[in-house]
Structure 1
Amino acid sequence: MELQANGDQEDEDGCTSETLELWMRDPVECVKELMGNPVFAESMAYGPVCK
């Protein structure tokens, strides 16, 4: 998906704009992926931690 972003500055052609690529992900699937990654296993805390 792409969207057009209009800037608040002007150049010689008028207002600046840029086409941006929008990526969408399911946040629950992202959290599942992070929590299931063994690289982060020692860094996970499932409750409050006092240091």
Structure 2
Amino acid sequence: MSNLLYLIAVILIIGWVLGFFVYSAGNLIHILLVIAVAAVALRLIRGRSI
């Protein structure tokens, strides 16, 4: 399950970077960034506690 969270975070970060440089989607780009950072934080927290 933790690998899935990491994969989702990487996909969201890539989507954010592409959206930031390619599209002008406004707030959607920043929402993707927040979700990706939250997924990475969950991965780090859960990885250390196990």
TM-score by length of 2: 0.28
Counting helix residues as a fraction of each chain, which structure ranks higher?
2
More strand by share: 1
| Greater C-alpha Rg | 1
Larger RCO of the pair (alpha carbons < 8 Å, separation 6+): 2
TM-score (norm 1): 0.28
